[in-house]
């Protein structure tokens, strides 16, 4: 009896990021309700999470690129919670699940504004998810970035704040 192995990964299954996020959420829930399988949420998903965008990428640039895979129903830019400026992610909603899958296949991993963008199926946009969840209002991943990244505002906010404090202290000691 020979086994048939599929060498191509299914695109409509949850990514490692989505699975770990749901696992954390599952352990943090206090009620004992049974949780649904994350693949159920994505089986007909028409929304994509798009990450690793430059803070300077415009809604028009995103629309132009993502419209190549199908008609876009809605595009929601991720914003810094406090400053209301772009913070490197967005949600793109298509009318059909197949258009979202095509986008994952053809656009995910390509470059936009000199950055390799990440795409992931999303169970659907809900109000409030457009804001960064970091302490400073942006994305958590940008809080502690130690390398300089001009497309994402320079150094991470915590690192930049620490450098500024050190410079102020150095200036006072003179």
Mean per-residue pLDDT over the chain, rounded: 78
What is the pLDDT averaged over residues 20-47? 63
- Taken in order 74, 79, 81, 82, the sign of the CA dihedral is negative
Tokens 């003179």 label which residue? 174
Q: Residue 104 and residue 70: Cα distance in Å, rounded?
A: 12
With cut-offs at 50, 70 and 90, classify the pLDDT of residue 8.
very low
Q: Which pLDDT score, from 0 to 100, does residue 81 have?
A: 87
Which of the residue ranges 12-21, 23-32, 69-78, 165-174 would you say has the lowest mean pLDDT? 23-32
Residue pair 69/92 in contact by the 8 Å Cβ criterion: no
Which tops the pLDDT comparison, 68 or 165? 68
Q: What is the dihedral of CA 135, 139, 143, 146, to 10 degrees?
A: 180
Q: Residue 156 and residue 154: Cα distance in Å, rounded?
A: 7
Residue pair 74/127 in contact by the 8 Å Cβ criterion: no
Q: What's phi and psi for 71, nearest 5 deg?
A: -75, 130
Q: 116: which 2 tokens?
A: 């390799």
Task: Name the region of 31 (left: φ>0; alpha: ψ -120 to 50; beta: rest).
Answer: beta
Q: Which pLDDT score, from 0 to 100, does residue 161 have?
A: 60
pTM of the model: 0.69
Q: Which pLDDT score, from 0 to 100, does residue 162 have?
A: 62
Q: 15: which 2 tokens?
A: 């990514």
pLDDT 10s digits, 36-71: 565 677 999 999 999 999 999 999 999 999 999 999
Q: Residue 103 and residue 48: Cα distance in Å, rounded?
A: 9
Using DSSP, state whether 147 is helix, strand or coil.
Answer: coil
Taking 70 as the threshold, does the pLDDT of residue 29 lie above it? no
Q: Where are the alpha helices (DSSP H) in 94-156?
A: 97-106
User: What architecture (CATH level 2) is domain 16-21+38-132?
Assistant: 2-Layer Sandwich (3.30)
Question: What's the angle, vertex CA 160, arms to CA 156 and CA 161, rounded to 5?
Answer: 120
Q: Residues 130-158, buried b or exposed e (16+ Cβ, 10 A)?
A: bbbebebbbbeebbebeeebeebbebbbb
pLDDT 10s digits, 130-144: 887 776 666 666 666
What is the pLDDT averaged over residues 99-116? 94
Q: Which pLDDT score, from 0 to 100, does residue 77 have?
A: 96
Q: What percent of the chain has pLDDT over 70?
A: 61
């Amino acid at each position: 009896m020979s086994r048939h192995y599929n060498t191509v990964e299914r695109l409509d299954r949850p990514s490692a990021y989505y699975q770990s996020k749901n696992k954390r959420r599952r352990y943090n829930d206090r009620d004992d309700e049974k949780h649904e399988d994350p693949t159920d949420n994505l089986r007909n998903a028409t929304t994509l999470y798009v990450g690793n965008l430059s803070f300077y990428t415009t809604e028009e640039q995103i629309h132009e690129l993502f419209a190549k895979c199908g008609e876009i129903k809605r595009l929601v830019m991720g914003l810094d919670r406090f400053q209301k400026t772009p913070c490197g992610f967005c949600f793109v909603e298509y009318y059909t699940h197949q258009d979202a899958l095509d986008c994952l296949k053809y656009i995910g991993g390509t470059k936009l504004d000199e950055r390799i963008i990440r795409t992931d199926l999303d169970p659907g946009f809900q109000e409030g998810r457009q804001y960064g969840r970091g302490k400073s209002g942006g994305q958590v991943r940008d809080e502690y970035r130690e390398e300089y990244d001009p497309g994402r505002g320079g150094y991470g906010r915590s690192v930049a704040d620490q450098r500024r404090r050190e410079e102020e202290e150095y200036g006072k000691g003179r």
